Chain A
Amino acid sequence: MPFFYALMRASEAGWQGVLSELMRPMTRELLANTLILATSVTIASGVMAIAAAWCTERCDLPARGFLRVIASLPLSLPAFVSSYAWASLGPWFQGMAGAILILSLASMPLIYLPMAAALRGMDPAFEEVARGLGGGRWRILLRIVLPQAAPALGGGALLVSSHMLAEFGALSFLSVQTFTTAIFQQYDLQFDNASAALLSSVLMALCLPLAFGELYLRKGRRRARVARGNARQPAPAKLSTLQKIIALAGFTLFAALSVGVPFVTMLYWLIQGTSIGQGVERLWPALMGSLAYSLPGGLLITLLALPLVLASMRASGLFVVLAERLPYLVHGLPGLVIALALIYVAIRHAPMLYQTPALVFAAYVMLFLPLAQSAIRASAELIPPELEDVARSLGKGPITAFLRVTLPALASGLGASLAMVVLQLMRELTATLLLAPSGVTTLATEFWSYTNDRAYAAAAPFAALLVLASGLPVYIFTVRSLPKS
């Protein structure tokens, strides 16, 4: 639907208009910026994530449980909150370089978590065989470990890169222009939005290779094993003292940059300034608003993602592939485009739904379905389909077999999906702003409106509460998805 909305609006410009719009120097500039940002952030956070996952899962570093928490910590801080904190420090962090640094730090856990889970789930036998054949540590990493972790790595990278295509709040604090910020500007400054719609279409075209490229990484491989072998931990790699110090210093630096700086800055603003105390009476309704939308939203999205994932794994064919991939295309669209498409359709065809929670949830589903899909898929891939067949052959009906065999095995994936989606919904800004019933506020929207007015001290409590409220899903997500050894 947003797809057709964007294309329809874009076509209002006519072929001439479309061509001249696409050939503008500004469009080229935006394309370059968008691609540079998405690639650099994905690569940088991917490299950090691989290094961190290797350290916490395969090395004999002390306090690895604690290091795991550190590596997932940025999840508790929305990227627009940390960008606002960094940007308020000075102009040095604004611009492309700063944006790459700050957003890579913020996105790292999205790759780290699946990567660490994959490293833990891997059968060490392959590596031992390779070592027995004389493979060096790097060679094993490149030839044996990374290919096995490819789906985890690819899924995480897909999330990060499509996030970057749609990121708006953080980039507007950091003064970097991409397709998404330009779309916002067009909507902000003009009233018939053909060119903004055209930019959205280009954005969807950019998501296309991403979504299908990730599919290629998983193609034709089977990861579930009926006989899981001896589930055991590989012997951790021994590190020299110097290597340990370097690794620990890396974690310390990561923690200081990703959460330390934003927290200290926020504390500073909390103490400084006279706008403090303004809007305190709004904290409670905003918290309630956040919970009332994010919890049911997370549940709904997880429930919808489950059949999609199962169908795509058990059935094949063009339709299934499309149904499963479509959400990923939409995921790269800014919430603004989706919200406007929903407004357009609801006003004309379902006015009784307009400005009701139902429409907000519809937008949430479009925006965040892929998060749930990725999380559920990670655990679904480990369930051999034969298990269900065995249950069927023992005389159970398909529903009982699913409920008794498949569903329990999916529990950790479902939990991760729920936590992940709730977390993202807590931070969602644009769709909530545009679609929610008038007067509804959330922590994210309140924070946004106060920082727009530069009432830093007034904004700080909303940010703090947002971080606290995100804490529980993050805790569940990290602790539950990384089982203790």
Chain B
Amino acid sequence: MYALNRRHAMLSGAALALAAGSRDAFAQSETLTIYNGQHRQMTDAIVAAFTNATGIKVVIRQGESSQLANQLIEEGANSPADLFYSEQAPPIAAIDEKGLLAPASAEALSAIPANLASVNKTWLAIAQRCRVVAYNKAMVKDAELPKSILECATPAWKDRVGYVIRDGFQEQIMAIVKLKGRDAALAWLKGLKANGRLYNGNGAAMMAVENGEIATALINNYYWYGVAKERGEDKMKSALHYVAKGDPGALVNLSPAGVLKTAKNAATAQKFLTFMVSEEGQKAAVATYAEYPVRPGIVSPFKLKPLDEIGAIVTQSDIGGAQLAYDLEREAGIL
């Protein structure tokens, strides 16, 4: 009953705004609904800058990217969402495959390099992160550090490597498939299951390395900076290792966003998408999290290793969806 009342209130509110005949009043009451799987603080910062600049209110639905993608698929045409900001590419690729995304505005697309958007131009990256090997400086000597990500799954690293099967892991599998083949990827997963230790999140694995519970962990770069911000960079017992150029372990992943085809506020959603890759939006995005900007000319306040030195040779369009990664994980018994 409450729901009905609320609905009535909203309808009569909208009617009043219309009756007042003022376009401004109507624009003021417009709220944009974002399904956000990206780290909360980053999206909050972008939204605050957007609301500040335009006066448009934004409601954030916070969750795990893939759960939100599942929800969007269930919701279909009835979805109340205007825009989806995903932490990783596979969830947004999945809803794109179901035909749920509208084409991104030309203005937004022109702000970033073409290879940071999907092939059919429905979604585009807002931030980038890279895969790294975090290691405890007291437990691993520099000479021991792996040259290739494939080494980490060998018995030589028995009980010395932590891994996380979400948030960047599937893209990692796909990169191995792309460069070394399906069998190599399957063997790598089986090796990790046999020799590695599973953590439930990148953050937990990062803390385990920092606290000396485990020698290394395969994670995303910005988790180290998060802990360094909390503890002080000079006090860090761990450091980041970037595997050699040309290896599937040298991988840059994307956090993309896209406007829903069924968005009630399509124009405003496109406006927000464009804002996310504007100079202002990008500055807000990279101020909170040590992810890389996508707009050329923006500099992160964190001391990041320059992307061109990382030497990734696999791109998001090489990776595509993650169905094969999922199948391999199941075959290896990790899932």
Given A185-B165, A347-B75, A438-B33, answer yes or no on A91-B208 (Cβ-Cβ < 8 Å): yes
**Which bucket holds chain B's interface residue count?**
35 or more
Least CB distance from A444 to B in Å reads: 13
Q: In the complex, what residues of A have CB within 8 A of residue B80's CB?
A: 354-355, 438
A38-46, A51-59, A186-194, A203-211: which lies at the B interface? A186-194
Closest to B73 in A: A191
Does the CB pair A454–B59 fall under 8 Å? no
> Which partner residue on chain B sits nearest A84 by CB separation?
B204
The verdict on B166 contacting chain A, using a C-beta distance below 8 Å, is yes
Contacts of A188 in B (CB 8 A): 64, 66-67, 166
Cβ-defined partner of A454 (8 Å) among B2, B73, B166, B207: B207
B74:A347 contact, CB within 8 angstroms: yes
Across the interface, A356 reaches (CB within 8 A) one of B3, B60, B333, namely B3
Q: B335 near A185 (CB under 8 angstroms)?
A: yes
The verdict on A439 contacting chain B, using a C-beta distance below 8 Å, is yes
Say whether A351 faces chain B, with CB atoms less than 8 Å apart. Answer: yes
**Given A358-B2, A452-B201, A454-B203: 9 more A-B contacts, CB < 8 Å:** A29-B333, A88-B207, A188-B67, A190-B326, A274-B230, A357-B3, A433-B62, A434-B63, A454-B207
Knowing A26-B333, A175-B198, A433-B63 touch, does A189 contact B170 (C-beta < 8 A)?
yes
Q: Is the interface of A mostly helix, strand, loop or mixed?
A: helix
Give the chain B neighbours of A457 by CB distance below 8 A: 230
**Which residues of the partner chain A approach B1 to less than 8 Å between Cβ atoms?**
358
Indicate if B180 sits at the interface (CB-CB under 8 A): no
Which residues of B are in contact with A by a Cβ distance under 8 Å?
1-4, 6-7, 33, 39-41, 59-64, 66-67, 69-71, 73-76, 78, 80, 91, 94, 165-166, 170, 198-201, 203-204, 206-208, 211, 213-214, 223, 226-227, 229-231, 322-323, 326, 329-330, 333, 335
In the assembled complex, which residues on chain A have CB atoms less than 8 Å from the CB atom of B66? 187-191
The chain A residue with its CB closest to the CB of B72 is A191
> Would A90 and B213 count as touching, CB distance under 8 A?
yes
Q: Which residue of A lies closest to B57 (CB)?
A: A439
Bound Cα distance A434, B37 (Å): 13
Contacts of B170 on A, CB cut-off 8 Å? 189
The minimal Cβ–Cβ distance linking B280 to chain A, given in whole angstroms, is 22
In the complex, the answer to whether A173 meets B200 with C-beta atoms within 8 Å is yes
The answer on a CB contact under 8 Å between B333 and A438 is no
Closest residue of B by beta carbon distance from A359: B3
Interface size class of chain A, counting residues whose CB lies under 8 Å from the partner chain: 35 or more
Q: Are B333 and A25 interface neighbours, CB within 8 A?
A: yes
B70 and A187 contact, CB distance less than 8 A:
yes
Pick from A24, A172, A343, A452: contact of B75, CB below 8 A.
Answer: A343
Check if B226 sits within 8 Å of A356, measured CB to CB: no
Which residues of chain A are within 8 angstroms of B198 by Cβ–Cβ distance? 175
A424 within 8 A of B: no
* A173 CB contacts on chain B under 8 angstroms: 200, 204
Give the nearest-CB partner of B227 in chain A: A454
Q: What's the Cα separation between A455 and B230 when bound, in Å?
A: 8
B61:A439 contact, CB within 8 angstroms: yes
A351 touches B61 (CB 8 A): no
- Let me know if B4 and A352 touch, CB within 8 A: yes
**CB nearest neighbor in A for B170:** A189
**Nearest-CB residue, chain B, relative to A450:** B40
Assembled-state Cα–Cα distance A187/B76 (Å)? 17
